[in-house]
Amino acid sequence: MAPSHLTIITGASRGLGAALAAQRLREGHQVLGLSRGSQPALVALAATQHATLAQWSVDLANPAPVAERLAAWLDTLPGQAAAGATLINNAALVTRPGPVSETDLNEIARALRVGLEATVVLTAAFLHATRGWGGPRKVLNISSGLGRRAMAGSAVYCAAKAGVDHFSRALALEEAALPNGARVVSLAPGVIDTDMQVQLRNADPAAFPESERFIQMKAQAQLDSPEAAAIKVLSFLDRPEFGQDPIGDVRSL
């Protein structure tokens, strides 16, 4: 049997990450999910699809041990025969909406570790461990329009996503100079109806002036479901020209 493509997804237990994992399982990919918890529905889906699924319960606010474990695991795989490998850095945290000066310091640090540090560390481990693999390699970093447009009350999230964007730009330059270098894109996935949106809609308007905007987006059915967003994201990932521009937006499809 021909080897299947390996897809590694962070934050794969709910929201967009779970939807991405489910879609890739339906397509026959080998999937590894890295999340705080596991998703039983993915186990059931993998069984019906006869697909390979592994789920690791990890804390991405302490990403170095997770990256070391990932590198060691990748070293055990028959990379030269692999159909290819993709890392999707999807996990993110948002702090309580409001001024950064009024935000808990540990909450800020945790959000930056999950949203930016984990992306950088896991990507480094993935690229090093798969450097000699013969199949195509991709890194898809899930960004946000807020990495490209500032919004009061979300300074930490904006900073993390802007960092992901610029990291992707620099990394794409490095990989382009290497034989079989990975293709790298930081992708804004559109506005998705997730727990983060609930948090933004329920925020105190005095601390988060844009809460009404998010309330209206929900009321006017302007939000994608995680499943619909996953289809758009994976369509972008599967485009032949993926990686030609390290900054992308699903709305350009």
DSSP 207-224: T-TTHHHHHHHHHTT-PB
Residue 2 is predicted with a pLDDT of 59
Average pLDDT score over the chain: 92
User: Over 90: is that where the pLDDT of 120 sits?
Assistant: yes
- Note whether 38 and 58 are within 8 A (CB): no
Determine the average pLDDT of the residues in 99-125: 97
Which pTM was predicted? 0.93
- Whether residue 156 contacts residue 162, with contact meaning beta carbons closer than 8 Å, is answered with no
Cβ contacts of residue 125 below 8 Å, gap of 6+?
67, 68, 70, 71, 74
C-alpha separations of 63 from 68, 125, 129, 138, 163 in Å:
9, 11, 16, 20, 16
Q: Any idea which of 54-58, 178-182, 210-214, 221-225 has the lowest mean pLDDT?
A: 210-214
Are the CB atoms for 12 and 85 separated by under 8 Å? Answer: no
pLDDT of 81 higher than 70: no
What are the extents of the domains in the chain? 6-190+225-252
Question: pLDDT confidence of 80, banded at 50, 70, 90?
Answer: low
Strand partners, 6: 30, 85
Q: Report H helices in the chain.
A: 15-26, 40-49, 63-75, 105-112, 118-129, 155-176, 195-201, 211-219, 226-237
Confidence band, pLDDT 50/70/90 cuts, at residue 117: very high
Q: Are 238 and 20 in contact (CB under 8 A)?
A: no
What is the architecture, at CATH level 2, of domain 6-190+225-252? Answer: 3-Layer(aba) Sandwich (3.40)
**Could you tell me if 126 and 148 are in contact, meaning their C-beta atoms sit under 8 angstroms apart?**
no
* 3-state DSSP assignment of residue 132: coil
Whole-number pLDDT of residue 201: 83
Altogether, the residues listed in the chain come to a count of 253
> pLDDT tier at 216 (50, 70, 90 boundaries)?
confident
Strand 30-35 vs strand 53-57: parallel, antiparallel, or unpaired?
A: parallel
In angstroms, the CA 94 to CA 198 distance is 11
